[in-house]
Structure 1
Amino acid sequence: MQYIPNILFLIALVAGIGYFTKNIRSIIKNIKLGKEVNVSDHKKERWGNVLRIALGQSKMVVRPIAGLLHIVVYVGFIIINIEVLEIIIDGLFGTHRIFSGLGIVYDILIFSFEILALLVLISVIIFWTRRNIQKIKRFLNPEMKGWPKQDGNIILYFEVVLMVLFLTMNAADHQLQIIGAPHYTEAGMFPVSSLLLPLLDGLSQSTLIIIERTAWWLHILGILAFLNYLYFSKHLHIILAFPNVYFGRVTPKGKFVNNKAVTKEVQLMMDPNADPFAAPPEGAEAPAKFGASDVMDLSQTQLLNAYTCTECGRCTSECPASQTGKKLSPRKIMMDTRDRVHEVGQNIAKNGEFKDDGKQLLDNYITREELWACTTCNACVEACPVSIDPLSIIMQMREYLVMEQSAAPTELNVAMTNIENNGAPWPYNQMDRLNWKDEA
């Protein structure tokens, strides 16, 4: 009978981690639907970005208030959950505060955990207020209605409950230490939870044990639930931000990637000795599809970008097209891409292979109006705190429209025709290009 709690804990732990692992594998499969990308270059710079951007949160503090609050929650949540290791060991082996033998070090750890728990609670409350009472504009875009808004609040409620359970568990434990209850050896410093002791004063030892054990169980079960909720939430970036920053772009943001097939054609046209009308050699590889119309045409890095999106809206709030009332929202581009790749992944899981569902990322998720509203200024890329690149997706979908469907806007078609005929985007003969100097 004495081992039943340990067995139940083991079952809960295996079930929680097992379900999480299953979902992570599903995400990896979905990301691998994209085209492989070689990221073996600039390793030093990539690791530097991980340390500076992902771990150091350097791009978060560009907006000091939100950045500072996020760092408090980020650091607090990670450090506080160091105690999860102690809880796991205690749960598996039936011990209690197994690390208490560290003495003064343990006291300092518990002290810092409690201070951080309080700071996390304060930060989460401010976050909730900013979202629901202050109603900051970037949280009110059309793509943030429904589930995205609920998700943002649910994660805040999760964090509040976990911190309250942590402090309640410590308060009951501290009171049991004070009254000398067996199995509750004196260990730890409790600057915050000790403030809750008046609420527990006068309770019997058995009642205190029930409160402590209940809070302990709910705390660890809540952490496992939170872990598995990440799969359904934008907070998957807690895990994916690190690889996403590593695989992020390290070349200058203003440098566009030239399509190799197009470059080859241009070089052929410029070669005076080449026959532009010659048939391709026998066995030559057929030209690849230009651009992207669906998620399978995108790269694995771009699909990782989509899953990493935090939906913070910094990209959209910095976008000049969005600021002037255009339909474009870089955040929506990433959310739509994630929704589509998830849909394709479910299609494959159900059918064993992808069965045409009559949909694609272009038109069914992202409209042409959105794509052509982009000014290619890279403001969204610069603003993203986890190195997401919405512009790369926009440009590839534009390439598909132009190269595969000849569906460029009239203004762009006119400019391209002028470049072809006149060597410039303006409708003037090359011989007349310098006439303006005679009128000056």
Structure 2
Amino acid sequence: MHVAAQIIFILLLSAAGAGIYLSIRRIRKNILLGRDEDRSDNKVARIKNMLLMALGQKKMFKKPLPAILHFFVYAGFLIVNIEMLEIAIDGIFGTHRIFAPYLGSFYPIIINVFEFLALTVIIACAVFLVRRNILHVRRLSGTEMTKWPLLDANLILGMEILLMIAFLKMNAMDQVLQDMGNQHYTATGSFFLSSLLKGFYTSYSEGFLLVAERACWWFHIIGVMFFANYVFYNSKHLHIFMAFINTYYAKLTPAGKLTNMPEVTKEVKLMLNLPVEETAADAAPGRFGAKDVKDLTWKNLLDAYSCTECGRCTQQCPANITGKKLSPRKIMMDTRDRLEEVGKNIKQHGADYDDGKALLGDYISQEELLACTTCNACVEACPVTIDPVSIIMQLRRFKLMEESQAPASWNSMLSNIENNMAPWKFSPADRFNWADKLKS
């Protein structure tokens, strides 16, 4: 029986590993569909940014209550699953708590920490479920938060609660079986929370507890395997892993500094008789701005996969607050959805396949783009340093520079800048006429 269980475990572990690998490969291929962009500078600053934002969750603590709850979920889930190493070894070799004899009295201390964190995960996830489904916190709703995003969040929270409950029940029954002197259950010392819970199981027979404890053990390990594959395959909780990568490659220059197209900058310098550095990359661009996801940079696409859908960006957006259609969260979700669609099309039909759709128009409307004030409030609010403004500006460029579509007021302003070197419709020679009145 033990050999059969080991074989089943190895097969399940291999299948889970293969599923995660295939998902990671798919995501990497999709991200690399974007244009190249150099983010390899200043490694020290990037590592510092990653540690502060992803590991330290610096921006989350602008809202203390959800930040503390999120920290417990985040730390609890990651740290508790360190125990997966022991579970994996036990599953492969048919052992039980293989680290206990080697760690001695330190082992129950570690498990006690794990159990405390498991309890905080259960409490925090329960609070998050109440906030989403009963209190209906405003930033967690919106036109883009359709049935799937809402269901996805609830599924993840529910799975985390069930996994932590299985972990605590498994430990509690393990303690009872140790007290019964079962040879397979290594004596580990007392676990605080398990000791409180084991009173519920002392009246059951040893045979029942053996089956129930193993059931919880299998539920926990299979649940974690399923959870990991689900997250990597199709869940916004991919940010658990992507946050580290995204914050490392985050923009280090001031958020308000817009990125100009080198080709346009060169032409402007030539018009002004300024020196221009000739490079091999001076060929004419294939497209001004961006129409679809392939026109965006790989960092823009990485941002899309890193989105947590927390709604902090939309909550802070002045355009959204005043009732306009723009939602920075929707911009990121639309970009991710379109990228997944393009990736599937390439896989099924080849790299040159055109489905007749585009990010601009089919997913994101011109009305949304024009509502953006480029204030970067969304960038400042994002806990993982996502930059929706960069995507918006590139889509805008396409509308203006490729399709020559802009509001009449914009066209008037641009014409004035071109002819008068100012947004106003008067000659540069008359620019200081207002000062003449000061002399009288």
TM-score calculated relative to the size of structure 1? 0.95
The alignment status of 1:387 with 2:388, answered yes or no, reads no
CA RMSD of aligned residues (A): 1.6
Aligned counterpart, 2:15: 15
1:111–1:190: 8 Å Cα contact kept in structure 2? yes
- Summarize the Cα distance change of 1:191–1:303 in structure 2 as closer, same or farther, 3 Å threshold: same
Q: 1:420 aligns with which of 408, 418, 428?
A: 418
Aligned counterpart, 1:140: 141
Alignment of 1:193-212 (within 5 A): 193-212=194-213
Alignment of 1:18-417 (within 5 A): 18-101=18-101, 102-230=103-231, 231-271=233-273, 285-417=283-415
1:100–1:188: 8 Å Cα contact kept in structure 2? no
1:108–1:189: 8 Å Cα contact kept in structure 2? no
In 2: Cα distance, 1:45 partner to 1:411 partner? 42
In 2: Cα distance, 1:262 partner to 1:42 partner? 27
1:318–1:380: 8 Å Cα contact kept in structure 2? yes
In 1: Cα distance, 2:126 partner to 2:194 partner? 18
- Summarize the Cα distance change of 1:272–1:17 in structure 2 as closer, same or farther, 3 Å threshold: closer
In 2: Cα distance, 1:263 partner to 1:14 partner? 52
The 3-state SS of whatever aligns with 1:169 is helix
Deviation beyond 4 Å, 4+ runs, structure 1: none
1:291–1:400: 8 Å Cα contact kept in structure 2? yes
- Summarize the Cα distance change of 1:287–1:203 in structure 2 as closer, same or farther, 3 Å threshold: closer
Percent of residue pairs identical: 54
- Between stretches 60-69 and 364-373, larger displacement belongs to 60-69
TM-aligned CA deviation for residue 37 of structure 1:
1.4
TM-score calculated relative to the size of structure 2? 0.95
TM-aligned CA deviation for residue 314 of structure 1:
0.5
The number of residues matched between the two structures is 432
- Summarize the Cα distance change of 1:268–1:349 in structure 2 as closer, same or farther, 3 Å threshold: same
Aligned counterpart, 1:281: none
1:175–1:200: 8 Å Cα contact kept in structure 2? yes
Q: Deviations over 1:65-121 (max 9, x none)?
A: 111111111111111111111100000001100011111110100111111111111
In 2: Cα distance, 1:57 partner to 1:137 partner? 22
Counterpart amino acid of 1:7? Answer: I
In 2: Cα distance, 1:199 partner to 1:439 partner? 91
- Summarize the Cα distance change of 1:81–1:435 in structure 2 as closer, same or farther, 3 Å threshold: same
The 3-state SS of whatever aligns with 2:192 is coil
TM-aligned CA deviation for residue 324 of structure 1:
0.6
In 2: Cα distance, 1:220 partner to 1:273 partner? 64
In 2: Cα distance, 1:271 partner to 1:287 partner? 22
In 2: Cα distance, 1:117 partner to 1:193 partner? 12
In 2: Cα distance, 1:396 partner to 1:422 partner? 26
1:72–1:119: 8 Å Cα contact kept in structure 2? yes
Counterpart amino acid of 1:259? Answer: M
In 2: Cα distance, 1:400 partner to 1:187 partner? 65
2:269–2:275: 8 Å Cα contact kept in structure 1? no
Aligned counterpart, 1:279: none
In 2: Cα distance, 1:39 partner to 1:434 partner? 44
2:314–2:320: 8 Å Cα contact kept in structure 1? yes
Counterpart amino acid of 2:332? Answer: M
In 1: Cα distance, 2:32 partner to 2:275 partner? 42
In 2: Cα distance, 1:436 partner to 1:285 partner? 45
Counterpart amino acid of 2:90? Answer: D
In 1: Cα distance, 2:176 partner to 2:355 partner? 61
- Between stretches 33-42 and 298-307, larger displacement belongs to 33-42
Q: Deviations over 1:307-348 (max 9, x none)?
A: 110000111101111111110000000000000000000000
Structure 2, unaligned runs of 5 or more? 277-281
TM-aligned CA deviation for residue 177 of structure 1:
0.9
Structure 1, unaligned runs of 5 or more? 275-283
TM-aligned CA deviation for residue 408 of structure 1:
1.6
Counterpart amino acid of 1:197? Answer: K
Counterpart amino acid of 2:191? Answer: F
